[in-house]
Amino acid sequence: MRSILLTLVHFCRMVVGSLLVISGLIKSNDARGFMYKLEEYFEPGALNLEAWTPYALELGITASVGEILLGVALLVGALPRLTTALTTVLLLFFGWLTFYTHSCDPFGMKTVVFDGVATEIANQCVLACGCFGNAIPLTPWESFLKDVFLLVLTLPILWAAWTGGFGLNDRRRATVLYT
């Protein structure tokens, strides 16, 4: 039974880790494109985080590198507790963001405060999540389902990390992983 669970954990680590690495590499390949996507999220009609707009490129690069590092750490089994905790937080954030984006009403209005004056503006809905850049365009709903799927796959990894079920890959697992 234990070997079946460890095989499941290993499979989940490979899938989640690989997707994080691929997603991060695609975003880092087109850092400016990801920056523009972040600026869409920061607009007043979307998340209203205009103060972050000047830092969109730096945030995009940081997010891309973070995804790659978390993916590699999952694949090799490095720092299991920290890696799984950060991966879970990242996937929860992505899930919230894509659900928020999916539930956006393009015909709705939003009240925003500019220099102490409340103003009604139209919602600015983000139509593509930017998860895989322009390589694989996903709607917010498709991206939300992907995030839920990845969160489900993360549960066995979390269990194993916090109960001592996995660490750095042994030779047999590393051979399977890298072939």
Amino acid at 145: L
The reply to whether 125 falls in a domain is yes
User: How many CA within 13 A on the CB side of residue 129?
Assistant: 26
The reply to whether 102 falls in a domain is yes
The reply to whether 176 falls in a domain is no
pTM over 0.85: no
- Using 50, 70 and 90 to split pLDDT, how confident is the model at 168? low
Q: What is the tally of structural domains in the chain?
A: 1
Q: Which residue would you say has higher pLDDT here, 127 or 172?
A: 127
Tell me which residue of 140, 157, 39 sits closest to 88, measured CA to CA: 157
The reply to whether 47 falls in a domain is yes
* 23-37 pLDDT, tens digit each: 999 989 988 888 888
Q: Label residues 82-92 b or e (16+ Cβ within 10 Å = b).
A: ebbebbbebbe
The reply to whether 9 falls in a domain is yes
Considering the chain, what is the average pLDDT of its residues? 85
* 77-96 pLDDT, tens digit each: 888 889 999 999 999 999 99
Question: Using alpha carbons only, how large is the chain's radius of gyration in Å?
Answer: 19
Q: Are 68 and 87 in contact (CB under 8 A)?
A: no
The reply to whether 105 falls in a domain is yes
Residue 17: give the domain boundaries: 2-170
